[in-house]
Amino acid sequence: MGRLFGTDGVRGVANADLTAELALGLSVAAAHVLAEAGTFAGHRPTAVVGRDPRASGEFLEAAVVAGLASAGVDVLRVGVLPTPAVAYLTGALGADLGVMLSASHNAMPDNGVKFFARGGHKLADELEDRIERVYEQHRTGEPWERPTGSGVGRVRTYEEGFDKYVAHLIGVLPNRLDGLKVVLDEAHGAAARVSPEAFTRAGAEIVTIGAEPDGLNINDGCGSTHLDLLKAAVVEHGADLGIAHDGDADRCLAVDAQGNEVDGDQILAVLALAMREAGTLRGNAVVGTVMSNLGFKIAMEREGLQLVQTGVGDRYVLESMKEHGYALGGEQSGHVIILDHATTGDGTLTGLMLAARVAATGRTLADLAGVMERLPQVLVNVPDVDKSRVSTSAELTSAVTEAERELGTTGRVLLRPSGTEPLVRVMVEAADIDQARSVAGRLADVVKSALG
C-alpha cells in the first residue's frame, strides 16, 4: 500500500479513493493510536469535527463521527467552518483531537481528511505513520477492541463554534476597518459565512461573491485559484481591495483597487513591516520557501529583515517557524501563518490583518504592496526524465552555472524534481520576462537531453 497521508492529510476522489470505510477506519485508528500515545490518559477524550461544504463531506463526516464515537471519543460537530477554525477550536476547547474534512483548493469531486493534535497543531509524521499502520493491520482482519455501554462516545452539535471563532478573529485585530470597502470571494467554500461576518463586525463595508455554496460549486471558477471575478468586482464596486479564499479558507490572495493581484509574497512583505512596527516580528525574520519571489528577498534585505527559506510546502514553513520562534511565514500561493494567533494558515485572519494595515496607514494596498517588486518568474515542467539525476549531471550543473552567470544578482535559477511525478520543474526569475523565458527554455532543453 502506498502512503495514505500526503503533506496535508489524506486526499483523493471522494467515494472512489476516499471512501466512507476508509474515513471510518482512519478515525478509529487515530483514536487508538492517540490513546496508546497517552493523549487520552486520565480523562474521557473529545474531538472537534468540521468540514467544508462539499456534498461528499456530508457522508464522510458521518463516517468520521461514527468511527470516533465507536472508539469511545466524544464528538463536537462544528459543521461547515474553515480548516483554521477547526484547528483553533481544537485548541480553545481543550479537545484531544481535531478532524477537518476538506480538499482545500481542489475541485469538488475530491475530498480529504486532516487530523489535528491537541492544541490545534498538525499531527507529527510518526503519529500519521502509526495511524496508517494500525488502520492497515485492522483492515486486513484483526478486530478492534470496542467500548460498550457508557463507554461509547457521545455526539453533539457545537453551534457556538462559529461565534467563538469569529470573536477570536476580531479580538486579535490591531485596529478596526471602518471606512474600508472590501470585496470578498469565498470560493463557495467553508468561509462563506465566517469571513463576511468577521469583516462586517470589524467595521468594513463588504461586497460578497462566491458565497453561496451548494455542495457542488466549491472552487468552481472563483476563489484564490480563479481571481478574474474578484478583479472585475473590485473595479466595478470601487472597492479599496478584494480578498480571495480557497475552499477551506486556509489561503488568502488579494486584489488592489485597480484590479491587480497581490500575491502571498507581497502580503507577507506588507505584514512583516506592520509587525516590525508593532514589535511582534520576532528575530526580524520572515519564513518563506525556495519558490518565494526573488523580489521579496531583495525587499526584505533592503528593509533590514531576513527571509528564511524552506522546502516547498506550508508544513516546512511551520516547522521552521516553530523551531526558531519566528512569528510570520508563508507561501506565494497565499498560505500565511501568523503564529501568535493561529496554528496553521488562516485566510480570513490574513485578509483581516491586511485590511487593517490599509485602514491604519491610510495608504492604498497598491502602495503598501509596492514595497517589493515582483520579478518575472517562469516555470517550465519537463516530463518523462530521470529526476533522480538532477544533482549529479555534470552537463546540467554546467548549464545552470552559465545561466546564473548570465542573470547576475537580479535573477536566479531553481531546478526541482517533482515530489509526485516523473518530471523536473525549471524555475527562472529575471528582471526581464523575455530573458526569463529564454533562459528557462534553454535549461528545459538541457534537462531533456541530459536526463531523458
Whether 149 shows a pLDDT value over 80: the answer reads yes
Catalytic residue chosen out of the listed positions 102, 104, 320, 393: 104
All CATH 3.30.310.50 domain ranges in the chain, comma separated: 377-451
Q: Which pLDDT value is given to residue 141?
A: 75
The pLDDT tens digits for 317-358 are 999 999 999 999 999 999 999 999 999 999 999 999 999 999
Question: Bridge-partner residues for 382, per DSSP?
Answer: 424
Whether 419 shows a pLDDT value over 70: the answer reads no
SS3 253: strand
Are the CB atoms for 333 and 264 separated by under 8 Å?
Answer: yes
Whether 1 shows a pLDDT value over 50: the answer reads no
Q: Which pLDDT value is given to residue 308?
A: 97
Can you say which residues are annotated as belonging to the binding site for Mg(2+)? Answer: 104, 246, 248, 250
Whether 420 shows a pLDDT value over 70: the answer reads no
- What is the side-by-side strand order in the sheet with 377-383? 377-383, 423-429, 412-417
Q: CA 412 from chain center: how many Å?
A: 26
Q: Name the CATH topology of 163-369.
A: Alpha-D-Glucose-1,6-Bisphosphate; Chain A, domain 3 (3.40.120)
The pLDDT tens digits for 52-62 are 999 999 999 99
Q: Which pLDDT value is given to residue 451?
A: 86
Interatomic CA distance for residues 105 and 247, integer angstroms:
5
Q: Which pLDDT value is given to residue 104?
A: 93
Q: Name the CATH topology of 377-451.
A: TATA-Binding Protein (3.30.310)
All CATH 3.40.120.10 domain ranges in the chain, comma separated: 10-159, 163-369
Interatomic CA distance for residues 79 and 280, integer angstroms:
33
Can you say which residues are annotated as belonging to the binding site? Answer: 104, 246, 248, 250
Query: pLDDT grade, residue 125 (50/70/90)?
Result: confident
* Residues near 18 by beta carbon (within 8 Å), at least 6 away in sequence: 10, 11, 12, 56, 60, 110, 111, 112, 113
Whether 397 shows a pLDDT value over 60: the answer reads yes
The pLDDT tens digits for 425-446 are 999 999 889 999 999 999 999 9
Q: How is 292-355 classified by DSSP, letter by letter? A: S-HHHHHHHHHTT-EEEEESSSHHHHHHHHHHHT-SEEE-TTS-EEETTT-SS--HHHHHHHHH
Are the CB atoms for 111 and 333 separated by under 8 Å?
Answer: no
Q: Provide the mean pLDDT of the chain.
A: 94
Q: What is the mean pLDDT of residues 303-308?
A: 97
The pLDDT tens digits for 221-269 are 999 999 999 999 999 999 999 999 999 999 999 999 999 999 999 999 9
CA dihedral sign of residues 286, 290, 293, 297: positive
SS3 82: coil
**102 part of the active site:** no
Beta strands 181-185 and 205-209 are: parallel
**Of 94, 101, 97, nearest in space to 50 by CA:** 101
Overall CATH class of domain 10-159: alpha beta
The pLDDT tens digits for 7-52 are 778 999 999 999 999 999 999 999 999 998 888 988 999 999 999 9
Q: How many CB atoms lie within 10 A of CB 142?
A: 8
Please write down the long-range contacts of 355-358, taking CB distance under 8 Å and 24 or more positions apart: 355/177, 355/180, 355/182, 355/199, 355/202, 355/204, 355/240, 355/241, 355/243, 356/173, 356/174, 356/175, 356/176, 356/177, 356/202, 357/270, 357/271, 357/274, 358/180, 358/240, 358/241
